[in-house]
Structure 1
Amino acid sequence: MSVTDDAIAKIKAMIVSGDLRPGSRLPREADLAAELGVSRNSLREAVRALSLVRILDVRQGDGTYVSSLEPNSLLDAMSFLLEFHQDSSVLDILGVRRILEPAATALAAQKMSDEEIAHLRTLVEPEGTSVTDLVALDLNFHAAIASGSGNKMLASLLDSLSMPTTRARIWRGVTEEGAYERTVSEHRGICDAIVARDPQLAQARAVAHVAGVMEWLQRAAG
């Protein structure tokens, strides 16, 4: 378990035990870091991760609060923390993506119009630097490729598989060093293969891209 994951687990335990209730304000950063036995840096990363999935609410100039969701809703929002340890569904979904997405990418390399490829290029480089910016772009990038395959059924299937893995994508972006840069680089490689109209290369790069996410998820679940 990484130090960030350790800090997240300790905050989660405080919420579950009732030490931190919905709507309550977290102690000062220095005090909470000392209480949890973690560095202030790890605590900041933990707070950032938990705010992305709406468990914590960071209010500039006011402090950080536990979400004011009802207790049951709050615990439901926290269930993503258990997905990697108790539920293989996310990994199963990625397994299906690993089969379908390379096929869609190979088709896109053959069938995408010049206008569609021009649009795909705009989805490679994020405008912002946050994990949420990257995840939003990631969803649009893969949706554009699926649509560009020219197979509406395949595009629909991939769309239905995309949203259930969003939390996993956010989690990877927050907890894995270099995930942001790696994702952008792999997207660039896939786009270049499509631009070159090379279906075999596009397919191979898509396989490697999804496989990388699966390998990370398997490590995170270990």
Structure 2
Amino acid sequence: MSRTDRVVDSITRMILDGELAAGDRLPVEAELAEHLEVSRGSLREGVRALAVLGVLDVRQGDGTYVSSLAPERLLGPVGLLVELQGAGHARDTHAVRRLLEGEAAAAAARRSDDDAASAAREALARASAALTDGDHEAFLDADMAFHGALARWSGNPVLTALLDALAGRTTRHRRWRGQAVPDADARAHAWHTQILDAVARGNQDEARTLTQAHLLETERELP
């Protein structure tokens, strides 16, 4: 294990063991380097790595703090990982998204969330208007908003963060499909309408099945 890896592992362990909590300020550099038995250079490299991963916040002139450790912060790099996989893995990415989003829809059907329901309905209304206007970009924005609302409706912040990371990296493919596949936007809107109805009625199996069928159709139309 390199010294930088040792810094990452040690600070992570301090958080897991409760020595550091979300929002806590790390000890000053000299003190922490001595405690971890590494050079200041190695400590800085380890801190930078943890900052990229969303674990630490480096505030210039103020010090280094443990981040909020919120799922959306820590799972953000997943989106970058998906992006770096390249076009050759587009179907794999969509397949994972299909499985997760189907479970999110089923979870949403099990619970009540007025804010998420309102956001989903509003997204559907915007999508309908975009279809009437023939505005594909506006439809794409509404499409993203609908899927985001459905994820939040699940009540699972980790699942929501994962879906946000995956959905954001599939925008390019969704844009292509809307422009290249006849009636793709209209069909997506029809699926969304059925999905929202199933979730609102609390039918978990139907919500899961409709969501997965919708996304499977999208996968099959990828180039």
Q: Classify the TM-score, shorter chain.
A: 0.5 to 0.7
Q: Are 1:216 and 2:221 an aligned pair?
A: yes
Give RMSD over aligned pairs. 1.6
- Within 5 A, what are the aligned runs for 1:1-222? 87-125=87-125, 126=127, 127-128=129-130, 129-217=134-222, 220=223
**Structure 1 residues not aligned, in runs of 5+:** 1-82
State the 1:167 CA deviation: 0.8
* Residue aligned with 1:124, SS: helix
Aligned to 2:74: none
Cα distance in 2 for partners of 1:155, 1:116 equals: 12
Give the structure-2-normalised TM-score.
0.57
Which residue type is aligned with residue 104 of structure 2?
A
1:116·1:148 contact (CA, 8 Å) conserved in 2?
yes
State the 1:116 CA deviation: 2.5
Cα distance in 1 for partners of 2:147, 2:184 equals: 17
* Residue aligned with 1:123, SS: helix
2:119·2:146 contact (CA, 8 Å) conserved in 1?
no
Which residue type is aligned with residue 171 of structure 2?
T
Cα distance in 2 for partners of 1:165, 1:116 equals: 22
State the 1:200 CA deviation: 0.8
Cα distance in 2 for partners of 1:109, 1:87 equals: 33
Cα distance in 1 for partners of 2:202, 2:165 equals: 27
1:120·1:141 contact (CA, 8 Å) conserved in 2?
yes
Cα distance in 1 for partners of 2:157, 2:97 equals: 16
State the 1:184 CA deviation: 0.6
Cα distance in 2 for partners of 1:87, 1:121 equals: 32
Cα distance in 1 for partners of 2:144, 2:160 equals: 13
Aligned to 1:41: none
Which residue type is aligned with residue 104 of structure 1?
A
State the 1:172 CA deviation: 0.5
Structure having the higher Rg? 2
Cα distance in 1 for partners of 2:87, 2:163 equals: 21
Which residue type is aligned with residue 98 of structure 2?
R
Which residue type is aligned with residue 100 of structure 1?
L
State the 1:89 CA deviation: 2.0
Cα distance in 2 for partners of 1:159, 1:167 equals: 14
How many pairs are equivalent? Answer: 134
Q: Sequence identity of aligned pairs in percent?
A: 32
CA displacement, residues 75-134 of structure 1 (integer Å, 9 cap, x when unaligned)? xxxxxxxx9xx8322211101111100000000111232343133111113232311111
Give the structure-1-normalised TM-score.
0.57
* Residue aligned with 1:100, SS: helix
2:116·2:152 contact (CA, 8 Å) conserved in 1?
no
* Residue aligned with 1:112, SS: coil
2:109·2:204 contact (CA, 8 Å) conserved in 1?
yes
Cα distance in 1 for partners of 2:182, 2:164 equals: 27
